[in-house]
Amino acid sequence: MPYTIGLPSAASAFLSAGFATQFSVAVVICLVIVLITASLPPEGGDEAPKSLPGLPFLSIVPFFRQRYDFLNWGFRITGQSTFQFQLMNNTVIAVSGASARRAFFYAKGFDLTEGFKFLSGAIPMVRGVTSGIQTKRISTIHKRLAAVQKNASLSELIPAILEDSRRILESYGTSGIFDPFDKIYELMFQTTVRSLSASEISDDAALVARLKTLYDRLDTGTTPATVLLPWFPTPAMIKKIWATKEIYDIVVRAIDAREQSGVSRNDTLQMLVDAGDERLVVVGFIMGLLIAGARATGTTASWIITFLGGHADWRHKAKTEVESLLATYSDATMSSFSARLAEIPLEIWESQTPVLDAIIRETLRVAQPHTAMRRNLGPEVYINDKSIPSGAYVVYPFSDVHLDPEIYPDPWRFDPSRKEVEPTADLPLPYVGWGVGKTTCLGTRLAKIELKLTVALFLLGFDHVLVSGDGNTPTAPPKPNWNDILQCRPPHGACSVKYTRTAFAL
């Protein structure tokens, strides 16, 4: 057996080599093992979902980089409403259709946290804080988020959100052009920090900007490798780790400053401290919910301003509705729009803004590129007569219902006048914009108020239209890019907002 003769020599050479060589060889061997493992096809059977053709590892990059196109291709190429593929040695099953939608959102064993943690990867991971959290701590965080949205708390937030919005909008000057997916997103990040963290952070514009940069770094640093091989020290993973550490340090410093000062503030941190919550709950609440809230409201607000810039009729309807609220519920002699908007009671914002409600609803339908993610932590279940084994990951793309022309004719068209589709036995859950079943968005009430306040102040303070990259007025707003899983953002430079200040003070 001559091939054994070289093994001791090879081992000796490896051990005597420098660390750089040893590390490189180890990486290559590891990647080969991973690649072989990823290429193993999933177990089959009549009840198993059909697998995608080709080598399994070829699904990895499309799933993370072009998810909308990839999932649509999967349903089309298999000819099935349920199919499976591999992400390394993990089975992922994509489901579609009315019955699958109902089963997916109501399955008792389908866990959102486990699914999102693995398949997304774009949240700051700190064990015991934002990952590996005890069930009791998760329950506490949910209770505290509900407390933030009680009538009294939410009413007290309204003036602060409007003041933040006024300050930022004032910085735009009297006229100009901006990218809404930068500027409006920054605005909503500030209001979310105000709503869900500490005044030590939200009062410091430079610190808020730094925090946004760090969360953006988590987004841009999320690659297939960082999600599937979190232990592998790629440059992107190292950047994510340092960004997470900085975010953690910012939050902890704010908590320490509050405790050391002994001064009580009217903000979310004070509510958490007064409740006697342990440090891990407080830090986890702020770190996790900040990015979840900012992404969702930032994306929605950016698209609302974009859509209204291309639809003068709906921009006029929304502004008229806000002006009507001002005429009825505020003092016309007050010096600024922000002060007058702050006088409008919370219940009026929630019950007497049908135009803003319709605009938000339609924006969520056409420009929120969500793919719901779960892991089956319960026993085997069946969806579309196909087995979903315990431990498998399951995904449901919102586009399956929100862009279905049978439910929403001309589905890419922004049209807030669409009549709400009522659920039936044959068409369950025709709209899932705020989540459904046991995973309805817990921050819905706060998000809606943030959106209404900031959009109202912008419409009162500015006249705006869309302009294309060449400076001309486009025939229609850009088509949302559902492959951009964070902002649904159109190609850079495809459109901008051209604005002019109105004659009234913000």
For the annotated binding site, the residues are: 441
Q: Is 490 helix (H, G, I), strand (E, B) or coil?
A: coil
Cα 483–Cα 43–Cα 103 angle in degrees, nearest 5: 55
Which residues line the annotated binding site for heme? Answer: 441
Assess contact for 258 and 200: CB atoms under 8 A.
yes
Given the structure tokens 């020599």, which residue do they identify?
Answer: 9
| Cα 211 to Cα 360: distance, rounded to the nearest angstrom | 27
Tally of residues, the chain? 506
Q: Tell me whether residue 394 is exposed, middle or buried, using C-beta atoms within 10 angstroms of its C-beta: 0 to 12, 13 to 18, 19 or more.
A: buried
Assess contact for 350 and 448: CB atoms under 8 A.
yes
Q: How many CB atoms lie within 10 A of CB 10?
A: 10
| Cα 306 to Cα 222: distance, rounded to the nearest angstrom | 27
| Cα 401 to Cα 416: distance, rounded to the nearest angstrom | 17
Nearest to 96 by CA among 414, 443, 407: 407
Alpha-carbon dihedral angle through residues 267, 363, 122, 71, given to the nearest 10 degrees: 160
| Cα 259 to Cα 273: distance, rounded to the nearest angstrom | 9
Alpha-carbon dihedral angle through residues 347, 349, 353, 354, given to the nearest 10 degrees: -60
Nearest to 432 by CA among 476, 396, 468: 396
| Cα 183 to Cα 212: distance, rounded to the nearest angstrom | 12
Query: Helix, strand, coil % (nearest 5) of the chain?
Result: 55, 10, 35
SS (H, E, C) 251-283: HHHHHHHHHHHCCCCCCHHHHHHHCCCCHHHHH
